[in-house]
Structure 1
């Protein structure tokens, strides 16, 4: 039976995740090519495309990084294919190089770039607002606030992009990506076959002589898209009060809820901008002239606020425009926060959030999973190097090595930076540097870092934490895996061969659950200089159960001879272990049978599951 997201039937209503709704919208538009690099909060979009791809009429790939993903989608749209490229907000930093020129070159087949922003840093290292990227590159923006809009805007964005030959940014935020709501399906378009690339060097090859007129053409496209924004059904006006509220993205939902809760609807006029860029200036100007004061409600940067200030100044309007200062420039909003901003602007008393007294709960920081092979690698590294080394970390679940008792993450910048920035520390200070990088991140942006370290003779020990999957974002495949959730990987790349090909000669591959060999490898590499690599190779236990269908046959247990020193808990912090009756104990349900604790404390024995 075909997945409901692929149905050609229209009119039915389904309860969908915002990310699933985006997939349906693309299918309704007739999507032909999808590329991505996974990253929360966008991951369910490519994961859904991937899961249903055997039945779909489109091509899908997990690319090695966001730059490559956008370049694949760019080539596809130049060949006439309707294309979508998905990533999280920081991924656009990686893709920015092709993005800036792609907007000059254009998108003949249509191309939507999904940027999932993360106000509040729920799963990210920053809160950057990618609406600024769209203004820098010259891209129209659509910003959904509901699951229905996520579907409709994905569909209409692709169609609009193809109509104008302009790449379009679909900007979501965590709250939109992960909400659930009713979505009424429209008819699905048969994508058919891409038209194929049509040679036109003056249009597609941005050498300076061609790039200058390309820029002029981009500006003309943006003017045409401004006319689209003026008449867009996603830019709506409601109410008739003296206070004007302008809102975009998920803030539209907060405003609507706040007004309903407060009963202040009759005192405000609301301009909702679901298609905020290019700014529909005529609609906004008429709005500014109709109210006495304006409050701009938008998460993160004052992007729309500044647009309106410029518009008012150019048209010599004397109107007070409030935004940042009344509302914060960081973090997620809430309905109460927005309601109180509206009340303050109207001179009304604030509402007080529910003063509910909750019981004091124990702190539960994130932790490496029970049986995670990274724990064995970090334990061995700290045993050999202690606090004498600087530990350069990277982006992945292994960043949790920052927590005690392992404490093996001293700094982090971005994907792949553990190698490059680690080399910078080593060269500048002469300190011992141990850099950690995951297998997926290694293929994403570690190869160039290794090449640079070898070329410049950096003195660094690189540890590749190869758990055979992209664990942090949901077990997506990467070039090094041998098996995926939908079958074998026909062309797995070998990390040892790759680093050897880049000029590294001292390479050791170990199973981190074999502590004797892992410690010996670290000791050996410690005494060397230059670039050397240790590959800690063992599958993620969750991935092992999910894909390899394997369950560990043994669990550890603490014998009656435990003397209550708790070295196993204090040195490993494995979540399967706990204290009971003055002794250490192991939860057999959580235990993955890695036997690492058995190697740390001789009091721990092993037994078969169920015995």
Structure 2
């Protein structure tokens, strides 16, 4: 049976994640080509396309990084394909170069870039607001607030891009990506016709002589898109009164609940903006006229607020514009925050932002490396050889959790791939010993260029490539180094060791990190060398191995009577399968993954067959 996301009939209702609804919207538009680099909160979009690819009539790929993903989609749309490219918000930093140029060249086949922003830093190193990118490039922006809008806006954004030749930014946030709601399906279009590339260097080759004209065309296109925004069904006015609220994104959903909670439904004039850029200026001015004050509710940066302030001034509108002077500029909103703001607007009290304060007295549950994770063994061995004598340069991945004591193997982190290049720079400037850690997917993403630079400039760096055979942090997506057999045809494996040798690294060692003695020996040997050297620790993520290879642990560890706490296994390894009961160390057999690292470290911890 075809999957419902592909096969649902017009009028049929599905219960979908926001991310799944985006997939349905693309299918309804007749999508031809999808590329991505996975990253939470966007990951379920490409993962769904990947799962459905055998049934779907589109081409899908996991690209090596976001820049490549957008360039691949960019080439496809220049050839006439309708394209969707997905990534999380910090990925747009990586893709910014082709992002800006595609706004100049245009997208003949149609191209939507999904930027999944992360207010609150649920899974990210910052809270950047990528609506700035769209304004910098001159792209239209859609911001859904429900699963239904995720589907509808994706479909309409793709078709708008194909019609106007402009790339479109679909800006979601974590709460929108991961909400679940009813989605009424529309008709599924046949895949769009791919007409092929038509040569026109003046349109597609942005050398300076052509780029100036491209910019003129871009400015004209923005005004055409503004006309679309003025009449968009995603921009709607409701309610009455002399107090107004302009809301966008998930703030619109919070606003609906807040109006009900405060008994103000229909008594406050509301402008909901879903097609937010270019700003529909005539619609906004019409909305503002006659208001005494207006609140702009948008998460993170005061982008709409500032644009509305300018509009009000240019049109001599005598009203007060409120926004980030009362609403927080960081983190997420919620219904309580907007309820407080509405009460303040209507003269029922001062805004205290009590709803933004974290709850007190709740137990902390810090993230931790999984039981049996091979990275834990690699970090343990590094600590035994280097201790605090080395500076540990970390990178983006689940292995960043090596920051947690007692492993404490993450001293600084900038961005993906920076463990190599930033680690090299610190070593060069300070002459301190630097050990860098990078995962296999991140190595392919942006570690290779840093490694080439380190070799070329004769840096002194030990780089540990933590190869767990998958892209573990974002949901076990494939990367160029994974075993191609479970993925089927049309994929090839790229060998990390061969890449390192091709980059000019001679000192390379490879170990299974679960073999503690060999890992210690490799660290010790490489510590005695200078220059660029690489240690590859190769062992599958146990969760991935269990799910994909159906590999179940055969052994479990247990603690014999007479275990001496002075041995320090609990304190040095801190596996989440360990527990302390009445002063005695125990191992939870249900959590134990059978890595047996602890057995190698203690004479009083033994192994036995699971279930025995």
**Which bin holds the TM-score, normalised by the shorter protein?**
over 0.9
- The alpha-carbon deviation at position 534 of structure 1 amounts to 0.3
Q: Does 1:423 align with 2:424?
A: yes
- Are the structure 2 counterparts of residues 608 and 252 from structure 1 closer, same or farther at C-alpha, using a change threshold of 3 Å? same
> Match of 1:538?
539
CA deviations 1:74-115 (Å, max 9, x no partner) are 011001000000000000000000010110000101100000
Give 1:459 deviation, angstroms: 0.6
Indicate how the Cα distance of structure 1 residues 296 and 133 shifts in structure 2: closer, same or farther if over 3 A, else same.
same
Q: Does the residue aligned with 1:246 lie in a helix, a strand or coil?
A: strand
Matching residue of 2:468: 467
- Tell me the secondary structure at the aligned position of residue 267 of structure 1: coil
Q: CA deviation at 1:292?
A: 1.1
SS of residue matched to 2:276: coil
Whole-Å separation in 1 of the counterparts to 2:8 and 2:402: 47
Per-residue Cα deviation, 1:485-530 (whole angstroms, up to 9, x for no partner): 5437741010000010000000000000111111011001101111
Q: 1:320 to 1:483 in 2, by over 3 A?
A: same
Deviation at 1:289, TM superposition (A): 1.1
1:15 matched to 2:4:
no
Most deviating of 264-273 and 45-54: 264-273
Q: Within 5 A, what are the aligned runs for 1:312-391?
A: 312-349=312-349, 362-391=363-392
Q: Which residue of 2 aligns with 1:43?
A: 43
- 1:132 maps to what in 2? 132
The residue that corresponds to 2:212 in the other structure is 212
What's the CA shift for 1:358?
Answer: 9.2
| 1:105-161 deviations in Å (ceiling 9; x for gaps) | 001011000000000000000000000000000100000000000000000000001
CA distance in 2, matches of 1:453, 1:467: 24
Using the TM superposition, give the Cα deviation of residue 565 of structure 1 relative to its aligned residue in structure 2, in angstroms: 3.4
Does 2:149 correspond to 1:149?
A: yes
Does the aligned pair in 1 maintain the 2:81–2:192 contact within 8 Å? no
Partner of 1:278: 278
Matched, 1:597 2:598: yes
Cα distance in structure 2, aligned partners of 1:395 and 1:112: 26
Answer whether contact 1:477 1:484 (CA < 8 A) is retained.
no
Could you give the per-residue CA deviations for residues 512-559 of structure 1, whole angstroms, max 9, x where no partner exists? 011111101100110111100000110000000011111111111111
SS in structure 2 at match of 1:290: coil
In 2, distance between residues paired with 1:354 and 1:220? 44
CA distance in 1, matches of 2:74, 2:587: 52
Cα offset, 1:193, TM superposition: 4.4
Matches of residues 6-405 of structure 1 in structure 2 within 5 Å? 6-7=6-7, 9-349=9-349, 362-405=363-406
> Is structure 2 residue 568 aligned with structure 1 residue 560?
no
Q: Is the 8 A contact 2:512 2:537 kept in 1?
A: yes
- Matches of residues 548-587 of structure 1 in structure 2 within 5 Å? 548-565=549-566, 567-587=568-588
Compare 466-475 and 265-274 and name the one that shifted more. 265-274
3-state SS of 1:463 partner: strand
Distance in 2 of aligned mates of 1:532 and 1:250:
48
RMSD: 1.7
- In structure 2, the CA distance between the partners of 1:359 and 1:426, relative to structure 1 (3 Å rule), is closer
Residue pair 1:40, 1:473 contacting (<8 A) in 2 also = yes
Q: Distance in 1 between matches of 2:86 and 2:542?
A: 27
The separation in 2 between residues aligned to 1:425 and 1:253, in whole angstroms, is 46
Q: Write out per-residue CA displacement over residues 306-365 of structure 1, whole angstroms, 9 at most, x where no aligned residue.
A: 11111112222232111002101000001011111111122113699799x999554321
Residues 566 and 584, structure 1, Cα contact 8 Å, conserved in 2: no
- Of stretches 404-413 and 1-10 in structure 1, the one that deviates more from structure 2 is 1-10
C-alpha separation in 2, matches of 1:305 and 1:593:
55
In 2: Cα distance, 1:488 partner to 1:194 partner: 24
Match of 2:459 in 1: 458
CA distance in 1, matches of 2:111, 2:8: 22
CA 1:153/1:595 → structure 2, altered by over 3 Å: closer, same or farther? same
TM-score between both structures, scaled by the size of structure 2: 0.98
Q: TM-score, normalised by structure 1?
A: 0.98
Q: Which residue of 2 aligns with 1:435?
A: 436
| CA displacement at 1:473 relative to structure 2 | 0.2
| SS of alignment partner, residue 608 of structure 2 | strand
Give the structure 2 partner of residue 413 of structure 1: 414
Shift of 1:218: 0.7
Could you say what secondary structure the match of 2:392 adopts? strand
SS of the equivalent of 1:256 reads helix
Cα distance per residue 1:170-200 (max 9 Å; x no partner): 0000000000000000010110541111111
Deviates more, 1:111-120 or 1:305-314: 305-314
Which stretches in structure 1 are left out of the alignment for 5+ residues?
none
| Structure-1 separation of matches of 2:566 and 2:209 | 74
CA distance in 2, matches of 1:566, 1:258: 57
Give the stretch that moved more between structures: 367-376 or 310-319.
Answer: 310-319
